[in-house]
Amino acid sequence: MNTFPKDFLLGTATAAHQVEGNNIHSDNWVMENMKYTTYQEPSGAAVDHYHLYRQDIAMMAAAGFNAYRFSIEWARIEPKEGIFDENEIEHYRNVLACCKEYGLEPMVTLHHFSSPAWVITKGGWEADSIVEDFKDYCVYVMERLGSDIHYVNTINEANMRLQFARVMDNYAKRMSRNAADNLQVGVNVQEMIALQAKMFEESKRLFRLKDGMTVNNFHSACTPHGDALILSAHAAARDAIKAMYPETKVGLTLSLHDFQALPGGEENSARLWEEEFLHYLPALQNDDFIGVQNYTRELVGPDGSLPVPEGADITQSGYEFYPEGLEHCIRKVHTAFRGDIYVTENGIATEDDQRRIEFIQRAIWGVRRCIADDIPVKGYFYWSFIDNY
């Protein structure tokens, strides 16, 4: 810790649905328990962080962390539209108190991929109603817990739906490989396509979708309108939170690749960075910070994105082992976004802890170089604290 500024947040991160278990009112729970599903297995009790959070937070403190990034689960707070569960609010109040007890600063994410099932029934993240629905949920949480929360991510990886649209398009163009190689979240596109028709019919029934509607959750490809709705939902929530707690730091996180152009790929690389980051900037001008989430690089040639190079050192997720991508992304973000930067996710999937140590060391060296160059990097959160699901 003495190598970082005094107020630097050094922590780890989790997502509620992925660690808490028994998130029965969420869209993810519905889809992972379908007969026709691309999920390998239901999440079930997961790692039971819901009940074991005290032991888990104690381990974080023992490891030397001073911060913990976790998400509050919307589907627990509002299991049915307009019906809120005070018992779940009390649960997260206890989690916040436990963080304080162990000296960890909580950074709270209000949406990390999973949504209440009723949101999908209404049209999900392509329905105009999502803006007010999300804002109302955020206001409800902050009215009750806001005095104990100083850092808020409204939406995790606000660009993820657009990235899904890109990989689905890539798959249509290059069916010979997994188009999701460069998507920084696990998904099997081939299996998704193969099961699409059966999944659609089953999900239409389970989510009670009207004719012509599809499942528009946070793991489905979005339209330009859906992309704009995410930013509108973020802005509405941010402005409401700042009206209640002006001193609370509010931002969102983005999944960012270190795009590296090969000869002839410069134009494509610039287009991808525009799509993945730059076009979001107008909506982020009133944000206090941005959360940078990076795991690897992506090589770009004259014909677009390239697969992981043959013979490259890869992780269990199929990414190229490339911790230097984090520093590159931070520097590129800083040239356009002038607020504070937090590394809200960075890490490696591996069973070899020596590789994990090397990855973290090299990534952290890059963060230190950025700080030395007066780039306002204010925190680093390793993904993930514990095995998910």
Q: Residue 259 and residue 237: Cα distance in Å, rounded?
A: 31
Domain ranges of the chain: 9-250+342-355+370-383
Q: Residue 230 and residue 242: Cα distance in Å, rounded?
A: 18
Judge whether residue 179 has pLDDT over 50. Answer: no
- What confidence tens digit (pLDDT) does each residue in 99-147 have? 999 999 999 999 999 999 999 999 999 999 999 999 999 999 999 999 9
Average pLDDT over residues 208-237: 94
Judge whether residue 188 has pLDDT over 70. Answer: no
- What confidence tens digit (pLDDT) does each residue in 319-368 have? 999 999 999 999 999 999 989 999 999 999 999 999 999 999 999 999 99
List all residues 6 or more positions away from 144 whose beta carbon is below 8 Å from its beta carbon. Answer: 89, 93
pLDDT of residue 146: 98
pLDDT of residue 2: 52
* Predicted model pTM: 0.93
pLDDT of residue 322: 98
Name the CA dihedral angle for 40, 46, 47, 51, rounded to a multiple of 10 degrees: 180
Residue 176: which pLDDT band, with cuts at 50, 70 and 90?
A: very low
Q: How far is CA 349 from the centre of its chain?
A: 16
- The strand pair at 304-305 and 297-301 is best described as antiparallel
Give me the CATH code for the 9-250+342-355+370-383 domain, please: 3.20.20.80
Judge whether residue 56 has pLDDT over 50. Answer: yes
What end-to-end distance do the CA atoms of the chain give, in Å? 30
Are 229 and 128 spatial neighbours (Cβ–Cβ below 8 Å)? yes
Angle between helices 324-336 and 353-372 (to 10 degrees): 30
Percent of the chain with pLDDT over 90: 84
- What confidence tens digit (pLDDT) does each residue in 232-252 have? 999 999 999 999 999 999 999
Judge whether residue 82 has pLDDT over 50. Answer: yes
Of 321 and 166, the one with more pLDDT:
321
The DSSP call for residue 208 is: T
